[in-house]
Amino acid sequence: MFIIELTLKTNPIPLSVQRKSEEEAQTTYQAVVDAMKAGGNQLLELTCDRQSEKKLAIFADNLAAVQMYEKSSASSSGRTPGFFSMAES
């Protein structure tokens, strides 16, 4: 299972969706990055493969960061990979 984690500019708590395959995760990640590059009020609608009732709708201009990583049972610390830094707006 792969996690796509979104960080909003105004909220330090990340939002995430899961994808079953790496290819699907890469496609979702790239769609989010492309929307961030395009700017404007583009609305991203995402669903979660693991929890089909989980849905997110986010304006691309509210995104501060996106990261993709593989969920592994080996990491039991509860901490996600990568790093987090707040930027001044």
Span 28-87, pLDDT tens digits: 999 999 999 998 889 999 999 988 889 999 999 999 999 999 987 555 444 555 555 444
Rounded to an integer, the average pLDDT of 14-41 is 92
- Length, in residues, of the chain: 89
Q: Residue 89 corresponds to which tokens in the numbers above?
A: 């707006």
Q: Residue 76 corresponds to which tokens in the numbers above?
A: 């039991």
Residue 85 phi/psi, 5-degree rounding, is -145, 130
Domain extents in the chain: 2-70
Half-sphere exposure of 27 (CA within 13 A, CB side): 7
**Long-range contacts at 22-27 (CB < 8 A, ≥ 24 apart):** 22/70, 24/49, 25/68, 26/68
Select, from the ranges 8-12, 25-29, 36-40, the one with the highest average predicted confidence (pLDDT).
25-29
Statement: the pTM of the whole predicted model exceeds 0.75: yes
Q: Residue 6 corresponds to which tokens in the numbers above?
A: 């979104």
What is the structure's pLDDT at 74?
A: 54
Rounded to an integer, the average pLDDT of 5-15 is 91
What is the structure's pLDDT at 11?
A: 87
